[in-house]
Amino acid sequence: MMPLDATILSPSRLALRRLRRDPSALAAIAVLALVTLACLAAGLYARHVAHTDPFTSDVAAAITLHGQLTDIMQPNDNPLHLGLTPIGPTWSVQYLLGSDPQGRDVAARLLYGGRNSLLISASASLLCIAMAAVVGILAGYFGGFVDAALSRMMDIMWAIPVYLFAISLSIVTVAQDLHLGPITIASDNLILPIVIIAIVYVPYAARPIRGRVLSLRHAEFVTVARSLGVREARILLRDILPNVAPTLIVLAPLVMALAMLAESALSFLSIGVQAPAASWGTIINDGQGLIYTRPMVAIAPGLAIVVTVLALNVLGDSLRDALDAREGDR
């Protein structure tokens, strides 16, 4: 039986209380906060701790390790000692996770790359949810021709595999600068992957929103508002949108997780974040040739992606449970 005090709480406060009592939600929030703060401190770490520039190639660099001067690029372990291999993890302040093939500090690049990965995925998620909300609300509320036209458009986008769709759009925009009238967007601008990733996931977010609006369309409070002559725009903003908000909140971290995976895939293929900028996907690409000799170059950003995506999915599930009135007070 629900406690008496829970019956007088607003739905938002009740959901917040449920979220605070969910240990998995608290753990996910803590992990996301830690990852975000670490990435925001990338500049401080590079300048004041590692004392390195993660965007400048320096294959001739050397550091003092255990009291000895050690080259960043070392001879291979093959019998002829041909070629050079980046230094592995030192577990010290400099080159904590080792070096990439260009002599750059992997740990510093990991933090800088995380800033771009988080920025792109978060921005793409918000943009995707905003566009999906417009499409889903209009299709679900007005129905008829509007619903048919928007739904068929979403079906066409849905039929194209996500990564194929994203790769096709990225190749077109990376090849040359994008000109939109007087506005020119450089091919290495982060706005391009943000918009591309947001567009490809709109159908996935618009469908549950449309379904929710369809159920609200014939609700008593909407019918009463119509009978009183309330304008359609006011009904959408004052009655429909607040009731769709829980769905949007639940979708946000889930779409962000999908956007992060898409961004990493595009950057790994060199059609996402462009050099000299970095993301977790570009760092994995840098380390694919060292997977047998210096695997940490690729493993570190891979683990960062796994941890962040897992935390986002757990947070999304917890938000769904907290906002679901049928779950009751836990």
Closest CA to 108 of 174, 58, 33: 58
Mean pLDDT of 190-217: 93
Q: Residue 257: which domain range?
A: 109-279+307-327
User: Residue 80 has what pLDDT?
Assistant: 53
User: At residue 326, does pLDDT exceed 50?
Assistant: no
Number of residues that this document lists for the chain: 330
Question: Quick check: is 97 in a domain?
Answer: no
Q: What pLDDT score was predicted for residue 59?
A: 84
What percentage of the chain exceeds 70 in pLDDT? Answer: 93
User: Taking a C-beta distance cutoff of 8 angstroms, is the pair 85, 75 a contact?
Assistant: yes
Condensed to tens digits (0 to 9), the pLDDT of residues 36-59 reads: 999 999 999 999 999 999 998 888
Position 199 pLDDT exceeds 70: yes
The answer to whether 201 touches 258, Cβ cutoff 8 Å, is: yes
Give the amino acid at 161. P
Could you tell me the CA-to-CA distances from 35 to 29, 110, 184, 246, 304 in Å, in that order?
10, 11, 33, 25, 8
Q: How far lies 151's CA from each of 155, 157, 229, 291, in Å?
A: 6, 10, 28, 45
Q: Which pLDDT score, from 0 to 100, does residue 327 have?
A: 43
Classify residue 38: in a domain, yes or no.
no
pLDDT band at 79 (very low <50, low <70, confident <90, very high): low
Work out the average pLDDT over 261-267: 95
Cα distance between residue 193 and residue 272, in whole Å: 6
Whether residue 146 lies inside any domain: the answer is yes
Looking at the domain assignment, is residue 288 inside a domain?
no
- The predicted pLDDT at position 219 comes to 86
- Give the pLDDT band (50/70/90) at residue 285: very high
Instruction: Supply φ then ψ for residue 54, to 5 degrees.
Output: -75, 0
Predicted confidence (pLDDT) per residue in 208-231, tens digit: 999 999 989 888 888 888 888 889
Quick: pLDDT tens for 98-110. Answer: 999 899 999 999 9
Q: Which residue has the higher pLDDT, 7 or 267?
A: 267
DSSP alpha helix (H) spans, the chain: 4-7, 11-20, 23-40, 42-44, 106-142, 144-159, 162-175, 191-200, 202-217, 220-227, 232-235, 241-268, 280-287, 296-323
Overall average pLDDT of the 254-272 stretch: 94
Average pLDDT, the chain: 88
What is the rounded distance in angstroms from the CA atom of residue 222 to the CA atom of residue 106? 56
We report the CATH number of the domain holding residue 116 as 1.10.3720.10
On whether residue 208 sits in a domain, the answer given is yes
Which residues, 6 or more positions from 274, have their beta carbon under 8 angstroms from its beta carbon?
Answer: 174, 187, 188
Residue 31 or 75, more confident:
31
Q: Residue 12 — pLDDT band, cuts 50, 70, 90?
A: confident
Residue 33 domain flag = no
Q: pLDDT confidence of 198, banded at 50, 70, 90?
A: very high
pLDDT tens digits, one per residue of 136-181: 999 999 989 999 999 999 999 988 888 888 988 888 888 777 777 7
Q: How many domains is the chain built from?
A: 1
Per the domain annotation, does 151 fall within a domain?
Answer: yes
What is the enclosing helix (H) or strand (E) of 64?
A: strand 62-65
Calculate the alpha carbon distances from 92 to 49, 89, 105, 253, 280 in Å. 10, 8, 12, 34, 22
Residue 63 lies in a domain: no
**What percent of the chain has a predicted confidence (pLDDT) above 90?**
52
DSSP secondary structure letter of residue 325: G
pLDDT confidence tier of residue 93, bands split at 50, 70 and 90: confident
Residue with tokens 């770490």: 45
pLDDT score of 171: 86
- Separation between Cα atoms, residue 98 and residue 295, nearest integer Å: 10
